[in-house]
């Protein structure tokens, strides 16, 4: 019996370039809840940004945020319980930040706390873009050392693509942190991944992997898909990823309809 459905957002629930979810998703999530199934967005986005996307049902679902570094249970933004939180080692995280700042021009850095994205003061125009596109709660700091809380994730964004930066940073940092290409232009570093997040929510709710469905489209989704019993890879993913996961999905809402048909028939 399915008890939890987790889904990546960008490139999975929401095609790249879009800024809003398909409205028909929300009644599907209500119907899943009626069948005893909890829905959980699983994203590199922060809690505030995800709640904005899921506003009609934000108090009723769990949230796997920052690629698994922090996991919230159901509730309001102010009182939702933190089910798990994995911070980066502070000294190493700050050293990584300075390595990113030393990269060739065009690389932007985003330092993630529990529910705030910190950007460098000189990156104010990029901050406006980030707020406009993802709705992040943000703050500007002069130096990475000025971030006033524990660091959960350090991200690099380059409009032309972050693969060259991964080649430069990987030799020093790929073994220190979980390094992953997290979508067009993004490179993330954490001490957790989406697989850790899924295992965290399963432990909190007493679920086993075979009771969990997950949807993903990119390399940062692989740990999550490996951690569940029923993984789906999006049809638009590259051939290597589709080869690893034989269940493919062209539209998450359509697949949720199929899952609901089976659950409602059994009920």
Length of the chain: 267
Mean pLDDT of 253-267: 91
User: Per-residue pLDDT for 220 more than 90?
Assistant: no
What are the two backbone dihedrals, phi and then psi, of residue 14, each rounded to the nearest 5 degrees?
-135, 115
Mean pLDDT of 63-77: 94
Confidence bin at 182 (pLDDT 50/70/90): confident
Report helix angle 252-266 to 25-34, nearest 10: 30
Q: Residue 247: name the closest of 228, 258, 234, 261 by CA.
A: 234
Taking a C-beta distance cutoff of 8 angstroms, is the pair 116, 49 a contact? no
Could you report the per-residue pLDDT of 84-134, keeping only the tens digit for each? Answer: 899 999 999 999 999 999 999 999 999 999 999 999 988 888 898 888 888
């Amino acid at each position: 019996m399915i008890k939890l459905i987790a889904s990546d957002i960008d490139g999975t629930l929401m095609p790249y370039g879009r800024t809003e979810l398909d409205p028909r998703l929300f009644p599907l999530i209500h119907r899943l809840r009626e069948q005893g199934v909890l829905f959980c967005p699983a994203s590199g986005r922060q809690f505030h940004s995800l709640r904005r996307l899921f506003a009609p049902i934000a108090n009723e679902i769990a949230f796997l945020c920052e690629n698994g570094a922090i996991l919230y249970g159901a509730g309001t933004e102010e009182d939702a319980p933190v089910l798990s939180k994995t911070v980066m080692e502070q000294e190493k995280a700050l050293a990584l930040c300075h390595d990113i700042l030393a990269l060739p021009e065009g690389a932007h850095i985003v330092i993630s706390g529990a529910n705030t994205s910190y950007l460098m003061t000189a990156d104010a125009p990029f901050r406006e873009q980030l707020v406009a596109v993802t709705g992040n709660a943000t703050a500007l700091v002069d130096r990475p050392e000025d971030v006033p809380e524990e660091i959960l994730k350090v991200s690099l964004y380059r409009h032309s693509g972050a693969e060259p930066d991964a080649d430069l940073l990987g030799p020093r940092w790929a073994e220190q942190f979980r390094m992953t290409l997290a979508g067009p232009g993004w490179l993330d570093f954490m001490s957790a991944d989406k697989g850790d997040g899924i295992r965290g929510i399963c432990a909190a709710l007493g679920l086993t992997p075979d009771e969990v469905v997950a949807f993903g489209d990119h390399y940062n989704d692989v740990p999550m898909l490996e951690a569940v019993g029923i993984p789906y890879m999006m049809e638009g993913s590259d051939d290597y990823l589709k080869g690893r996961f034989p269940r493919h999905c062209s539209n998450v809402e359509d697949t949720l309809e199929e899952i609901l048909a089976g659950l409602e028939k059994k009920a």
